[in-house]
Amino acid sequence: MKKICTSFKEAVADIQDGATLMVGGFGLCGIPENLILALAEKGVKDLTVISNNCGIDEWGLGLLLNNKQIKKMIGSYVGENKEFERQVLTGELEVELTPQGTLAEKIRAGGAGIPAFYTPAGVGTPIAEGKETKIFNGREYLLEEALTADFSLVRAWKGDKMGNLVYHKTARNFNPMIAAAGKVTIAEVETLYEIGELDANFIHTPSIYVQAIIEGVQEKRIERLTVNK
C-alpha cells in the first residue's frame, strides 16, 4: 500500500519553495484541481512548473499565477490566460515554450530514463538556438533534453490503494507520462478502490510510479462552453 492521504493539505505538505513540479492535464481536462488548490493555500513560491498549459484565469494553474507562486513555466500553449500573458510581457514570469509533441516526448523520455533525443520539430526556428543539431538520412534534427521533476501531480478517474491508476478518456493526455517522470508522484483520484478491485488489464499507470494517493471530488470546469443556438 502507498501513502493514502486524508487531506489535500497533507498530500502537498512536502512541496517546498523552489520545487520543480509537473502537473497533468490538457486545458482544464484531467487537471489535479484539488492538489493545485492546496498548493495555492500553502503559498509555496518560486516554483518551476512543467505542464502543457497554465490553466485559465481564476482556475487550475492560473490560481498559482495569480498568487505569483510560479517563477518559471515550461509548456506548449498559453491558452486563454490573460494573467499569464501579462506576467510574460512585464518580465515577471520566465517562460519556455516547446512544441507540444516535443514537450510530451521530453516528459516521456524523462520517465523512461532517456537523457535526450533528436527531433525534426523546431529545426530552423528560434527554438533551435544554442542547441545541437545532427543530420540523419539527409534531414536535420534537433537535440532535446528530457524533463523530470521533484514532484508530479496527476489526476485519475480510478485508483487503488497500491497506487495503480486508470484515466478517463481525454484525461489520459499528459497524465500517464507525467506520473512516470516525477521523483515523487501524488495522484488525485475520483474514486479509490481496494487492492484487486481494478482490472489489471486496464491499468494505465502502474503503482511503481506513484508514492501518494488521495480521493477527492472535482468541479470539472469547462474551459470554453459551446452550446447550440
Report pLDDT digits (tens) over 166-185: 999 999 999 999 999 999 99
Report pLDDT digits (tens) over 5-20: 999 999 999 999 999 9
**CA distances from residue 161 to 2, 105, 193, 198 in whole angstroms, order as listed:** 6, 29, 6, 10
In the chain, what are the domain boundaries?
Answer: 3-117+145-215
Report pLDDT digits (tens) over 116-131: 999 999 999 999 999 9
Report pLDDT digits (tens) over 188-217: 999 999 999 999 999 999 999 999 999 999
Q: Indicate the CATH number for domain 3-117+145-215.
A: 3.40.1080.10
pTM of the complete model: 0.94
**CA distances from residue 53 to 97, 100, 142, 203, 217 in whole angstroms, order as listed:** 10, 10, 23, 26, 22
Choose among 49, 57, 56: nearest CA to 24: 49
Assign 1 a pLDDT band (cuts: 50, 70, 90).
low
- What pLDDT does 78 receive? 76
Cα–Cα dist 229/166, whole Å: 36
Cβ-based neighbours of 42, under 8 Å, separated by 6 or more = 9, 12, 15
